[in-house]
Chains A and B, each alone.
Chain A
Amino acid sequence: MRIEDSEQVEEAVPLAQQAEWQDITPIEQDEGEGSMCPIAYTDEYRELMGYLRAVMAVGEVSERALALTARVIEENPGHYTVWVYRKRLVEELESDIAKELDWVSEISSKFPKNYQLWHHRESLVTRLWAPSNAQGVTEDQRVTNPVLRRELQFLGAAIDEDSKNFHAWSYRQWLVSTYALWTQELVFVDTMINQDVRNNSAWNQRYFAILANRDPSAVHLEADMAKSEIEYVVEHIKLAPNNDSPWSYVTGLLLRHAPSMLYTDLLPRIKQLAADNAYQAAMTLTPFYWSALLDIYEQQAADHPDTKKQLVEESRAICDQLASETDIIHCRYWNFRKTSLDTC
């Protein structure tokens, strides 16, 4: 997959038979007295680990040690001890970081959920371009910086591979946050949502991109912004009404940052959709529409007590319908919701 041809030939040859390694005596794994977990390795891995322990024990800093860590990691990246050693080697050998990132990228496709890979990436990127240096330039310039461009490309590919990879999205949040790449992130999120409207990770990222590191409790959404988000959500509900994410996103967003717009703006739009011939059947069948109505009515009744009686009556009927027809698996929840209406 990766290394010079000459090394590839040597790969198949045990280290014990390689001239380069003659000066090292491998350290066998000490399983402890009466160990209940004696380990059986494949011979190759066992040998690699023996040599690795030996060089780690003396703190050797060398290219051969670096190559050895690569081989171990490529077999078993979950062995997190090796990563600490590799990081140190990369630093002390002053290895080409761009090349190191390329190597990490190759491994990532084999082990997309390994935490150490992502963390190693993080430390390499901050070394390549310190966040403080990034502050003096515009976002456009930051995005086109080779370091960040490579990262965004890599992340795009990783998320393409597995669109809900927790680690990838988390790393992306770190990158966007650290280098203030908010504008491009909204564009990316939109692309991902349009690729798969059911991707909850993408919707979560939308909220992240809009909040842009501000403290949630201090953010009040402007009417224009809220309206445009409502429109965005409605357009995507049309694509798949029985889809949790957009409903959860818009009710959560408005509840936190513009609660009255739940009933002044969201409510008429979704009712309009439910009355539309093209969507009526789907909207009636999805629990998320009815559940949204419950949330909206709850806010409306709290803000306008004069409407409470009628809204509670409507809500009760909705709970009954959900519990008995539309969402039977969650009937216990809907029954609770109904009884809690009485105590509002």
Chain B
Amino acid sequence: MTETFATDAKLLADKHVEFIQNLDKKQDGLEYWMTEHLRVSGIYWGLVALFLLRRPHALDHEQIISYVLSCQNADGGFGGHTNHDSHLLYTMSSVQILAMLNALDQVDGLRVTKYVLSLQTKSPMTTVCGDKWGEHDTRFAFIALAILSFFNTQDQLDVNGVVEYVRGAMNYDGGFGSKPGGESHAAQVYTSVAALALAGRLDIIDRDRLSSWLAERQLPCGGLNGRPQKLEDVCYAWWVGSALDILQRRHWIQASKLANFVLSAQDEKGGIADRPGDVADVYHTCFGIAGLALVRYPGLEEVDPVYCMPRSVVERLGLDKWQSNVPESWSQ
């Protein structure tokens, strides 16, 4: 089914490119050094947006690669910035950046694998932690599987254990929380569904109930929220949209209304905010554009719903094989 998009507003592609290019020039801003600990993720968000906007060279690739490599630590993991402790989140962003820039060969996959495996735990249950602190979360279950897939070392992880952890986080409403017992939240739904896609266990999902919960995120204004009774936010265009895409129910969201909402949250000077009238930031710029790409808004590259990277990159790396894990009955 192809969408037709009402032309209430345009995607300000050039402005967004400028916005992203100017990010590292705002060094006198408080926000700049307050977000130092996640700098690598900031770059990932900017790069995804640029790639999807078909302007992949708007940032200097060599500089980025050299910076990302400088974030790798002795334990094989990557920190959010140079000399920051390793964390799965920033290891993921680093690997994704290198993948998009065709520089994965500059990193030793076995070293990174070793780091990820070191974060496996059996207490309080079999799962993967975010860092040596011991926080566990369905996000980390997904990230562990995703990182290892880049290096084809997924089978070194206790995949069954991880699947059981994710299953434990499945709630009475069909959604998934951050950990068993945790309230269903769209971002956790995305990571749980993506994890199960990578593990080949999408069958454990209550597809109808979860799809209905996801569709329910769309509010009359067209925007999506992350859980019942919360405000709409541009980033859910990705978290909800990607999960629905994997479930093959993308069309349950009214794309045109969603697109209008996302576009109305654009800053005319560049960048996208969480909702109309607020200040733009690179995170919402990334996920707003990725959300639009999911619903095939014109002028954008196709995005892979599991990896949140351009489909062309995922295919080049042979990572689109998760698609064969989608139950056949779902495609009917």
Contact = CB atoms under 8 A, between A and B. Distances in A.
Interface of A: 29-42, 45, 53, 76, 78-81, 83-84, 115-116, 119, 164, 166, 169-170, 173, 177, 198-201, 204-205, 207-208, 211, 243-245, 248-249, 252-253, 255-256, 329-330, 332-333, 336, 340
A45 B33 contact: yes
Contact of A198 (B36, B211, B229): B229
A253 B254 contact: no
A150 B230 CA distance: 29
17 contacts: A35-B70, A35-B82, A36-B24, A39-B27, A39-B81, A53-B83, A76-B37, A80-B133, A115-B135, A166-B178, A198-B229, A244-B228, A249-B172, A252-B172, A332-B215, A333-B211, A333-B252
Interface string B27-66: 1101011111111000100000000000000001001101
Contact of A244 (B172, B208, B229): B229
A200 B213 CA distance: 13
Contact of B183 (A36, A80, A166): A166
Q: Which of A31, A40, A199, A333 has the most CB of B within 10 A?
A: A333
A28 to B, nearest CB: 11
B173 A76 contact: no
B227 to A, nearest CB: 6
Interface size on B, as a range, is: 35 or more
A30 B82 contact: yes
Given A30-B83, A45-B33, A252 B219 contact: no
B171 A81 contact: no
Contacts of A256: 172
Nearest to A253: B172
A197 B211 CA distance: 25
B251 A332 contact: yes
Contact of A200 (B131, B135, B229): B229
A244 B183 contact: no
Contact of A207 (B35, B43, B172): B172
A90 to B, nearest CB: 14
Q: Which of B63, B185, B216, B218 has the most CB of A within 10 A?
A: B216
Contacts of A169: 182-183
A329 B257 contact: yes
B284 interface: no
A79 B84 CA distance: 8
B82 A31 contact: yes
Contacts of B34: 76, 78
A34 to B, nearest CB: 6
Interface string B201-235: 00000001001100110111010000111100000
B260 interface: no
A131 B229 CA distance: 35
B320 interface: no
A145 B270 CA distance: 54
Contact of B63 (A34, A166, A244, A252): A34
A116 B185 CA distance: 20
B276 to A, nearest CB: 18
A333 B212 contact: yes
5 closest A-B pairs by CB: A252-B172, A40-B27, A204-B183, A244-B228, A36-B63
B82 A32 contact: yes
B181 interface: yes
B299 interface: no
Contacts of A249: 172-173
Contacts of B79: 81
B24 A173 contact: no
A158 to B, nearest CB: 15
B16 interface: no
Given A30-B82, A166-B183, A248-B172, 9 more contacts: A30-B83, A34-B63, A36-B64, A78-B35, A80-B85, A80-B133, A115-B135, A244-B216, A256-B172
A169 to B, nearest CB: 7
Contacts of A244: 216, 228-229
Given A330-B218, A333-B252, A173 B181 contact: yes
Q: Which of A31, A79, A244 has the most CB of B within 10 A?
A: A79
Q: Which of B33, B181, B220 has the most CB of A within 10 A?
A: B181
B184 interface: yes
Contacts of A36: 24, 60, 63-64, 66-67
Nearest to B134: A119
B111 interface: no
B275 interface: no
Contacts of A42: 30, 33
Contacts of B87: 80
Given A83-B133, A204-B183, A204-B184, A37 B39 contact: yes
